[in-house]
Structure 1
Amino acid sequence: MISAAEFCAELDERGFTVASGVPCSYFGGPIALLGGRPGRYIPAANEGAALAIAAGAALAGGRPYLMLQNSGLGNLVNPLTSLTMTYRIPVLAFVSLRGWPDPAHDEPQHEVMGTSTHALLDTLGVHHGTLRADAGLCGFRALLDPARTELEAGRPAFILVEKGAVGSGEAPPAPERESLIAADVLRTVAHAAGEDGLIVASTGYTARELFAVADRPGNFYMQGSMGHAVAIGLGLAQADPDRPVIVVDGDGSALMHLGTLSVIGNQAPPNLIHLVLDNGMHESTGGQPSTSGTTDFAAVATAVGYHTAMNCRTESDLELFLRKALHSRGPHLAEVRTARRYGQAPPRATSSAAPHVLAARFANAAQRKGLSS
């Protein structure tokens, strides 16, 4: 293992000037260190945007690098192949190896990409090396040297990072503000949904907590596919417009594909209720700050065509919103300020059943087949 300070210092010494990326617990240490140095880390909404930010920095004469999870590598492929490789813009990318070397020791959503990351980069003709957990600083330098050769030739270079290869750092403090407890919010949502309503819970701690406090056949627990919860909700709502569909999003996931809100405003599903739980951070990856502090989700929703939107700061605000939303034409959105979670995270739903089993249970509920858990 190399420390987060060694990781950042080595890249500083080699002239790298700015980093971008999407949070991953494997890079929590470097992100925390760089976040305390103004202008050194730009948090991106998604992996493709991070690469585009780096490309812009490179075109301006900077030497950028990225940090991201291999689970989001698919979001990177389009700008990698059509932007940086086509225009020969040199960018260095560090990619965490979730689901590798043995996917059985990770969560099921990492299995496919974990076993495909190396082959995918080989197929694209992208240079890559692997930083193992036992590599140390000399091993890190040995990977950076050939990467520099690729960058000088105008080609991208990837360093794939095994779990434990880079030391962790201290998470930044949670923002001080009036907020609700996420578990209490989810209980209220499940109660409001009743037996008929469908609930889609975004990936991360939101899906875990919903499973812990109110498991039911009509819950869809996302693992992976960050940012797509409300798109799933739109598909459900359009398929059965007489049935309430409640999507419980997070601030980071809503920001990742914010354009979907415009699609929802355009399609105007009358039965869709969208809640964004905003705690100002990417909590499940170590508490790195999101950019939600400068985003008013309710104002965005109103601007793109949601029928109603509200900022909820109290339990009574939330109850009032749900009561009105369930009895009026949507789509509706509520931004709900929530506090940082403390203590051990609840288990994922997949600790009780395989993903395809959970999906089949939900499909039975969504198709009104009347099967119980």
Structure 2
Amino acid sequence: MISAQDFCDILADRGFTTASGVPCSHFGGPIAHLSTQPGRYVPAPNEGSALAVAAGAALSGQRAYVMLQNSGLGNLINPLTSLVMTYQLPILTFASLRGWPDPATDEPQHAVMGPSTHRLLDSVGSPHYTLHAEDTTDRFTELLDSAQKDLDAQQAPFVLVERGAIGKAAVHEAAPPWGVASSTAIRVVTDSCPEASVIATTGYTGRDVFAVADRPGNFYMQGSMGHASSLGLGVALAHPERTVVVLDGDGAVLMHLGALSMIGHEGPANLIHVVLDNQSHESTGGQATTSATTSFSAAALAAGYRSAVDCDSEDSLRNAVLKAMAASGPHLISVRTLPRTGAIPPRATNALTPQAIRDRFQQDLNGS
């Protein structure tokens, strides 16, 4: 293992002045360390945007690197192949190796990408190297020496990072929190519309929903970050007779913010989109999102939602849900939530297979 500070310092000594990325627990240490230094790290909404930021830095003569989870390589492939490779911009990317070498040791959403990561990069001609948990700073330096040859050849190499290869760092203390506990907000929403079909976004939100409000009409997303609202739109359009509630997170909404425009355009009267906004990527270590400078309610109204409100208490949230139930949507409800404390509930797939979650949700939709 190498320390988070050594990781950042070695790269800085090599002239890398800019970093961007989407949080993964593997990179919690470096992101926390860089975030204490203004201008060193750009928190991106998705992996493709992170790579494009680095491409802009490279185009401007700076050295840049990207950090991301390998599950996000799908978001990265388009700008990698059509921007970075096309213009031969030398960018170094660090990708975690979730679901590798043994997919059974990780969450089910990593079962496909984990064993495929190396082959995927091979398929597009990206050179790559692996940093193992037992590797030292000397080995890290050797990998960077190899990657430097690729950068000199105007290629975009990857360093694939095994779990435990990079140490942690203290997370910067944020301002004192305020808002509603996530589990409380979820219970208020689900109690207010007990017959609704519920789409729960990935991460801790899905775990909380499973713990406090599990029922057959819930669909728990494993991975696919940022797509809960689009999935909910598909369900809402297919079943206009059924209220559909999307329980989303601030980081997930920001990842694919354009979905708001799609939902506003389609105008499903039966869709209620609830954003639990704790201003952090909590399941990867509490790294800050950019929601502090974004109004989800204003964005939703501008995108064509019929209504959008902000809530910061149980009563205001309950009233907002009941009002949305009584009027044609789509509606967006943004609720400020507190950082989670105590033990985190297990994910739904600890008790149910993904296929079982699918089957019982479909049966509930069909009234059987």
Q: Give the TM-score band, short-chain normalised.
A: over 0.9
Q: CA deviation at 1:136?
A: 0.7
Whether 1:307 and 2:311 are equivalent positions in the alignment is no
Give per-residue Cα distances to partners, 1:198-250, cap 9 Å, x unaligned: 00111000000000011100011111000000000000100011210000100
Equivalent residues in 2 for 1:300-339, closer than 5 Å: 300-339=299-338
CA–CA separation in structure 2 for the residues paired with 1:25 and 1:173? 18
Deviation at 1:174, TM superposition (A): 3.9
1:240 aligns with 2:239: yes
Give the deviation of 1:298 after TM superposition: 0.5
Task: Name structure 1 gaps, 5 residues minimum.
Answer: none
Distance 2:209 2:172 in 1: 26
Instruction: Give deviations 1:151-184, integer Å, cap 9, x for gaps.
Output: 1111101000000000011222244243001101
* Partner deviation per Cα, 1:313-339 (whole Å, 9 max, x = no partner): 111110111111011000000110000
Identity %: 57
| Partner residue in 2 for 1:13 | 13
What letter corresponds to residue 244 of structure 1 in structure 2?
A: T
Determine if contact 1:183/1:209 at 8 Å carries over to the other structure.
yes
Q: AA paired with 2:24?
A: C
Match of 2:128 in 1: 128
Distance (whole Å) between structure 2 residues aligned to residue 122 and residue 11 of structure 1: 25
How far off its partner does 1:344 sit?
1.5
Unaligned runs of 5+ in 2: none
| Equivalences for residues 6-85 of structure 1 within 5 A | 6-85=6-85
User: Aligned AA for 1:292?
Assistant: S
| Aligned counterparts of 1:219 and 1:285: Cα–Cα separation in 2 | 24
Distance 2:144 2:247 in 1: 41
Amino acid at match of 2:160: L
Distance 1:177 1:11 in 2: 34
Deviations 1:326-363 (A, max 9, x none): 11000000110000001121000000021111111111
Normalising by structure 1, we get a TM-score of: 0.98
Q: Distance in 1 between matches of 2:333 and 2:177?
A: 17
Match of 2:223 in 1: 224
Equivalence map 1:168-317=2 (5 Å): 168-194=168-194, 196-317=195-316
How far apart in 2 are the matches of 1:258 and 1:344?
30
Question: Counterparts of 2:235 and 2:192 in 1: how far apart (Å)?
Answer: 18
Q: In the aligned structure 2, how far is the partner of 1:175 from the partner of 1:353? A: 38
Structure 1 counterpart of 2:86: 86
Given that residues 175 and 280 in structure 1 are in contact (C-alpha distance below 8 angstroms), is that contact kept between their aligned partners in structure 2?
Answer: no
CA RMSD in angstroms, aligned pairs only? 0.8
Could you tell me which residue of structure 1 aligns to residue 106 of structure 2? Answer: 106
TM-score between both structures, scaled by the size of structure 2 = 0.99
Q: Is the Cα–Cα contact under 8 Å of residues 48 and 76 in structure 1 kept in the other structure? A: yes
Q: Which amino acid aligns with 1:219?
A: N
Number of residue pairs matched by the alignment: 368
Letter matched to residue 208 of structure 2: E
Query: What amino acid is the match of 1:333?
Result: L
